[in-house]
Amino acid sequence: MDDQFYREYILDHYKNPRNFGRLENADISHEEENPLCGDVIGLDLKLQDGVIDEVRFHGRGCAISQASASLLTERIKGKPLDEAKQLTKEDVISELGIDISAARLKCALLSLKVLKAGAYGTADWED
Amino acid sequence: MASTTQALDAKKVRADFPIFQDGALSYLDSANTSQKPRQVVDAMVGYLTEYTANIHRSAYRISEQATERYEGTREIVKRFLNAASTKEIIYTKGTTEGINLVAYSWGRRHIGEGDLIVLTVIDHHSNIVPWQILAEEKGARIEYVDIDERGELRLDQFRALLEQKPKLVGFNQVSNALGTINPVDTLVREAKAAGATVLVDGAQGAPHLGVDVQALGADFYAFSGHKICGPTGVGILWGRRELLESMPPFLGGGDMIKTVRLDGTTYNDLPWKFEAGTMQIAEVIGLGAAIEYVSGIGLDAIHAHEQALTEYALEALTDVEGITLYGPPAERRAGVVSFNLAGIHPHDLATICDRDGVCIRAGHHCAMPLMTRLDTAATARASFYAYTLREEIDRLVGSLSEANRIFNG
C-alpha cells in the first residue's frame, strides 16, 4: 500500500495535535459529534477585537478528523473571525492534501462544521 | 472430533458468487450484509424479465405465476423456520420493520403505564429504539440486561428482572457487534415462565444458525433477507398465530383489506393483513431462492465452517501488536470478531484494509449502548459467512500489521 493517504504530516498532526485542550472563558465554544462513527470535535475560541486570539480543540476520532482539526486551528489562529467564517470545505480538503473518499469526507470536515456552527451560533450546515 | 456434518467447501461456495470471480475482494463484512449468489440474482431477474406482474389481483398467466412464486417463498420460509403455518410468516422490509411492526401493533395494545420492557445492552438499535418510542408514548419503563467481561449476558440480572414481571422481553439470538451466541432456549423458556411476551431478533441468527420457532417457543422472531444471501428490502416477521390474529394492522392500504366502505373496513386474513400496498415482489422471490441456497449448503455446515474460521481468526489476531479483542471464546460466538488496535482509530484501520482489498466494518455497529459499555467509541469488525476463506483472514492480519507500521512504526 502506498502511504499517500496517511502522509507523515497527517500522522504527525494526529499523534501530536496542535492547540489541543480546552480554553477557560472561551468566547465561542462548540462541540459536534459525527453520529456515523462517534467522532467528537470541540473548539474553544478566544477573541480580541474580532481576531481569534487563542484556539484549542478537543475530541476523539480517526486520524483524518483529528489531523484536520489540528490543521484548522493552526490556520485560523490570529485570523479575524470573519475571515475564518469564510473558510470552505474545499479549503480544508486542499489543506489536507490527500484524496478523501466520500465515506471519509465527514471525518475531514467535522472540525469546519464545528467552527461554522460555533461562529454563526447555529448548526446551519449542509453536509 | 467426529462430526456428521458434511464439511463445507468455501471455494466451491464462492464459485456461486459473481462478485468473487475476479479474486480481488476479501469481503469480511457479512454481518453487515452478505454477498449474493447467482441463484438469487437469477430468480429476481427471472421475475423482472419474464413474468413481471402484480400479485393477488389479476387473472392472467404471468400474474398467477408471480403470485405463485411470491407465496411460494412463504412455504420456503415456513420450512426454514419450522413454523406451524404460512399464516405466521409476514413479509417485511427487514428485521427493523418487523420489530417496529410488533412494537406498534402489539405494543400499543398491550404495553401501558408503568409496564416493564426488558432488553439487553447487546441489542441492535433496531431492537431498542422502537421500544423506547413506545415506552415514551405509554409511560412504560425499559431495563437492560448487562453483559459480563466476556461479552455474555448476565443471567443473574436477567432473572432478577424477570421477577419484576416484564410485559415484553426482547433480545438477539446473536450479537451483531460481538458475535455472542445468546442462550436463547434458556432465555425464552424463563421469560415465558415469567409471563412475558418474547421477541427474538434473529438478524444475525437466522443466516448462520437457523432456528426452529416451534421448539424455541418465543412469540415473535424477525430476520432480514440481505444478511442471508438475499436482497435488501425484504425480511420476515414470524409471529404466533393467535397473537397476530389479535393484533391490529400496522400499515393500512391495498391488499391488507377484505372490503372497504366509506364508514369502515374489514381487514384481510393473515398473513396479508400485515402486507399493505404493492410489496417487494422481486425481493420476496429472491429471498426464497436465498433461503433455498443457504439451506442447500446446510446451516450446521455453515456454523461449523464459521466457528473454525473464528477460532483461526482469534488465534491469528492475538499476535497482532496492540490488539484488543472483544467478545466470548470461539465456541460461544458466531463468525464475528470485533477488535481495536492501540493508537489507531477503527476508521483508519478500515481505510488501510480497503487499500488491500479487505472490507471490514468500522464504527459503533448500531450498538452505541454496547460501545459505551465497552468504554470505546467504535470497534473494527471482521465477520464471516459460508464463502469466507482462511486466506482472507491472513490478508486482514497483513493489513493490520501494515496499519501498525504506518501508525506506530
Considering only the beta carbons, identify the residue of A3, A38, A62 that sits closest to B406: A3
Percent of chain B with pLDDT over 90: 90
Query: Domain B41-296 carries which CATH code?
Result: 3.40.640.10
Looking at the predicted structure, is the pLDDT value of residue B306 above 60? yes
Rounded distance between C-alpha atoms, residue B289 and residue B38, angstroms: 10
Tell me, yes or no, if A7 comes closer than 8 A to chain B by beta carbon. no
Taken in order B382, B387, B390, B392, the sign of the CA dihedral is negative
**Pairing outcome for strands B116-120 and B168-172:** parallel
Percent of chain A with pLDDT over 90: 65
In a domain, A125, yes or no: no
Check B229, B353, B359, B366 and give the catalytic one. Answer: B366
| Distance between B27 CA and the closest CA of chain A, angstroms | 18
In a domain, A48, yes or no: yes
* Chain B positions in Cβ-Cβ contact with residue A7 (cut-off 8 Å): none
pLDDT at B133: 98
For residue A5, what pLDDT band results from cuts at 50, 70 and 90? confident
Strand (E) or helix (H) holding B325: strand B323-326
Residues A65-98 have pLDDT tens digits of 999 999 999 999 999 999 999 999 999 999 888 8
| Distance between B402 CA and the closest CA of chain A, angstroms | 8
pLDDT at B80: 98
pLDDT at B202: 98
**Pairing outcome for strands B361-363 and B379-383:** antiparallel
Q: Average the pLDDT over A48-58 and give the result.
A: 96
Mutate to test the interface with B, among A62, A68, A105 (most CBs of B within 10 A): A62
- Rounded to 10°, the helix B281-297/B299-318 angle is 80
Rounded distance between C-alpha atoms, residue B227 and residue B36, angstroms: 9
Rounded distance between C-alpha atoms, residue B408 and residue B402, angstroms: 10
Residue A88's domain comprises: 8-118
Tell me, yes or no, if A17 comes closer than 8 A to chain B by beta carbon. no
- Count CB neighbours of B156 within 10 A: 11
Task: For chain B, give every domain's residue range.
Answer: 10-30+298-408, 41-296
Residues B242-291 have pLDDT tens digits of 999 999 999 998 888 899 999 989 999 999 999 999 999 999 999 999 99
Taken in order B265, B269, B273, B275, the sign of the CA dihedral is negative
CATH code, A46: 3.90.1010.10
Percent of chain B with pLDDT over 70: 99
pLDDT at B3: 46
Rounded distance between C-alpha atoms, residue B350 and residue B102, angstroms: 35
| Higher pLDDT pick, A34 / B1 | A34
What cell was used for B373? 459499555
Mutate to test the interface with B, among A7, A9, A16, A37 (most CBs of B within 10 A): A37
pLDDT at A103: 81
Contact across the interface for A61 and B352, Cβ inside 8 Å = no
Tell me, yes or no, if A123 comes closer than 8 A to chain B by beta carbon. no
SS3 label, residue B31? coil
Q: Average the pLDDT over B136-153 and give the result.
A: 97
Residues 6+ apart with CB under 8 A from B401: B320, B321
For residue B221, what pLDDT band results from cuts at 50, 70 and 90? very high
Residues B85-126 have pLDDT tens digits of 999 999 999 999 999 999 999 999 999 999 999 999 999 999
Q: Average the pLDDT over B117-140 and give the result.
A: 97
Q: Average the pLDDT over B204-231 and give the result.
A: 98
Considering only the beta carbons, identify the residue of B355, B363, B368 that sits closest to A1: B355
Catalytic site includes residue B359: no
Considering only the beta carbons, identify the residue of A3, A38, A62 that sits closest to B364: A38
Supply the DSSP symbol for B174. Answer: B
The mean pLDDT value of chain B amounts to 95
* Chain B positions in Cβ-Cβ contact with residue A1 (cut-off 8 Å): 352, 355-356, 399, 402
pLDDT at A101: 83
Residues of chain B contacting A, Cβ within 8 Å? 343-348, 351-352, 355-356, 362-364, 368, 371, 377-378, 399, 402, 406-407
* Chain A positions in Cβ-Cβ contact with residue B378 (cut-off 8 Å): 37-38
Contact across the interface for B345 and A61, Cβ inside 8 Å = yes
Residues B347-400 have pLDDT tens digits of 999 999 999 999 999 988 899 899 889 988 899 999 999 999 999 999 999 999
Nearest by Cα to B177 from B151, B155, B158: B151
Considering only the beta carbons, identify the residue of B345, B371, B377 that sits closest to A63: B345
Tell me, yes or no, if A105 comes closer than 8 A to chain B by beta carbon. no
| Number of domains chain A contains | 1
- CB-defined contacts A:B, below 8 A: 52
Q: Average the pLDDT over B200-210 and give the result.
A: 98
| Higher pLDDT pick, B57 / B315 | B315
**Lowest mean pLDDT: which of A30-39, B102-111, B112-121, B337-346?**
A30-39
Rounded distance between C-alpha atoms, residue B268 and residue B270, angstroms: 7
Mutate to test the interface with A, among B345, B364, B400 (most CBs of A within 10 A): B345
Paired with B264 in beta bridges are B261
The mean pLDDT value of chain A amounts to 88
Rounded distance between C-alpha atoms, residue B66 and residue B262, angstroms: 31
For residue A125, what pLDDT band results from cuts at 50, 70 and 90? low
Residues B27-41 have pLDDT tens digits of 999 999 999 999 999
Contact across the interface for A37 and B347, Cβ inside 8 Å = yes
Looking at the predicted structure, is the pLDDT value of residue A35 above 80? no
Q: Which amino acid is at A7?
A: R
pLDDT at B320: 97
In a domain, A1, yes or no: no
Query: Domain B10-30+298-408 carries which CATH code?
Result: 3.90.1150.10
Q: In what order do the strands lie in the sheet with B168-172?
A: B89-92, B235-239, B220-224, B197-201, B168-172, B116-120, B141-145
